[in-house]
Every structure is written in C-alpha cells, then in structure tokens.
Amino acid sequence: MRSVVYSSLGDSSVLEVAERDLPEPHWGEVRVRLAVAGVNPTDWKLRSGATAASMPFDEISPGQDGAGVVDSVGNGVYDLKQGDRVWVYLAQHERPLGTATEYTVVPADRAVRLGRASYDVGASLGVPAMTAHRALTIHEDGPSRLGPGALAERTVLVTGGAGAVGHAAIQLAAWAGATVVTTISSDEKATLAKAAGADHVVNYRGGDAAAEIKAIAPDGVDLVVDVAIIQNADLVAEVLKPRGAVSAYANTGGSDVTLPVRPLMARNARLQFILLYTVGEGALATAAQDVAAAVEEGALEVGEESGLPLVRYPLDQTAAAHDAVEKGAVGKVLIDVADLD
C-alpha cells in the first residue's frame, strides 16, 4: 500500500510517500480502506516536534481522522463487518499508523458507522467534532449528552466560528437548540459562520465585541467555546452569565494566560481546558455516539454552502496539506486517498 511516512521530526519536508506492507487487524481491531483523510493542526504540531520532544515510534504515518470502508475485521469484533462505511477518529493516537495512507488499522471502537453521509463529512469529524462535543457538555448545569433540545433556552458563544472546531461547535449547538453567537474577524468568515447555523455574528475587529454580545444576550451567555483564551480572557469574563462555563480547547498565541480573577469569581465561572487525547474513554464514546446521531440527521454538513470550505490535496501532496493547515487555511483541509464510490 502507499503510505505517507516520516522517521524524524521536522518541517513538512520529512514526509515521504512509501510502499508499505498491508497491515493486519488484531483482536478487537478493524482495517479500513480510506477514501478521504482529514488534516488537523495536531498533525503538523506532532510532526514538527512542537508537541513531542521525540519520535514515539521509529516511523509514523500522520493523521487522526479519515473515512472509508471496513476492509477486514479482527477476532472479537461483532459490531462492524466488511463493507461498512465508517469514519475513524484518533487513528494515530499512541499508534504509528494514521490516516495519510491507503489502509489503516484502528480499534473497532474508533471506527463509527457513517451511514449515508459523504466521506468528506466523515473525514471532517474526529478531532473537530468530538472536541466541540466535549466543549458543549462541560457546563455544571448543562447536559452531558447532545441531541435536539438538549441546549434549548441556552446561549452559546463560539469564538473563532470559521475554524473547524468552531464550525462543528456552531452546528452541534444549533442542532441541540441553543442560540448561537460567534465572533469572527472578517465579512468572509461571517458569511461562513452564518452558513454553519450561527444566529448572530460579531466582528471582534470592527468594534466593541463585548458590548455587541451583551446586546444580544443581556443576561450573559451560558457557555463559551473558546479558541484563544489567552486573548479572550477579559472578553469571556465580561459576557459570561453567573454560573457560566468556558471551554478552552486551544492555546492560540502562546502558553500563558492572565485571568481576570474577580470577575470570574463573582460569576462562579467554570474554566475547563480540553484536549481530546486525555478526555477519557467514556467521554470519547459519548461524543462518538452523539456526533454519529448528528451526522445521521444531517446536522454536520461540510462544504462552503455549509460554512466549511473544503481544501483538497492528493495523497502524494500531504506535505502541502500540512503546510496549508499550519498557515491557517480557511476551511477543512482534506487528503483524497482513493475513489471508493
């Protein structure tokens, strides 16, 4: 099989396309023939050494997310069968073989039935949608599961609504019945956020974002899904409702944050940091189930008309795909692996 691999940390030039033996699924695993792979910031950060001081394996094929068809089933797997269309998540977590490859092997619980949805949708789930699910379910007084009506009568603020996680958070929150407010930095991104389902968009570069948000939600927002807590700490403290919660899933712009303690304390606010790799198996299973339900109901669509433009590369241009994500490409970067339909 063709597989994109690297054997040392560095810039995207360390990636190469190589021929490798077809992997075999062991107990509790399935082999998936991939149609499309998704690229996330975590992929280039791990490859570059930004989040890992050394190689955890002698050779790695990058990529956590993808979609395709179950090709082979290991012993002990009863819920999936050969030919099932699936999306996979955390394929490379603590494993050397990711999704920038023609075939991957994952534990069966990391392969989720895709139903009638496209492979593009499937490859765009994983890290973004499951992170968004976790971010929307940490409120002390809120739901632990998402579904229609779960966030009814609640207001959710999504900062950076044109990004992949922000896009998924808007769609999931809207599906669950929330009033969704999002901050964006341009008219182009405002159009995308509205297409994703945001009820209100606020350009934080165009005026007083806090005042605009408070005009929309005079009593404050219940929950903030935040992409840049370092920059947004004062903003969220100003617009948060008493007993509100903030989910911080990225450290955009650095590693240290100064918190306005008194305003947050006065609101009995909760600040929850999120990293998908360590949320625990229970949270992952719950997220996979709810995300799958949202997909089945058509609530997690992709493409420019749904607020998430697709930027495509062939497998042999995976390095360029990594570079695009690192440079902040607007939309979802996908790798076309094979035409399975």
Burial 30-58 (b: 16+ CB within 10 A, else e): bbbbbbbbbbbbbbbebbbeeeeeebeee
Are domains 2-124+308-336 and 129-277 of this chain identical in fold? yes
- Rounded mean pLDDT, 257-283: 95
Region 306-326: mean pLDDT is 98
Which tokens is 245 given? 């919660």
**pLDDT surpassing 90 at residue 253:** no
CATH of domain 2-124+308-336: 3.90.180.10
Q: Does the structure show a pLDDT above 90 at 51?
A: no
Predicted local confidence at residue 316, as pLDDT: 97
pLDDT category at 280 given cuts 50, 70, 90 is: very high
User: Does the structure show a pLDDT above 80 at 297?
Assistant: yes
Position 341 scores a pLDDT of: 76
Q: For position 216, what pLDDT does the model report?
A: 97
Average pLDDT over residues 116-140: 97
Residue 252 pLDDT > 90: no
Position 206 scores a pLDDT of 85
pLDDT digits (tens, 9 = 90+) for 156-199: 999 999 999 999 999 999 999 999 999 999 999 999 999 999 99
- Residue 34's pLDDT is 98
Which residues touch 335 (CB under 8 Å, ≥6 apart)? 36, 37, 38, 39, 63, 99, 100, 312, 313, 314, 315, 317, 318, 321
More confident residue, 41 or 51: 41
Q: Which of 27, 32, 39 is nearest to 319 (CA)?
A: 39
pLDDT at 103 over 90: yes
Coil, strand or helix at 44: helix
CATH hierarchy code of domain 129-277? 3.90.180.10
- Name the residue ranges covered by the structural domains of the chain: 2-124+308-336, 129-277
DSSP E strand boundaries for the chain: 2-5, 16-19, 29-38, 65-73, 85-88, 103-107, 111-113, 155-159, 179-184, 200-203, 221-226, 240-248, 270-273, 310-314, 332-336
d(CA 201, CA 193): 7
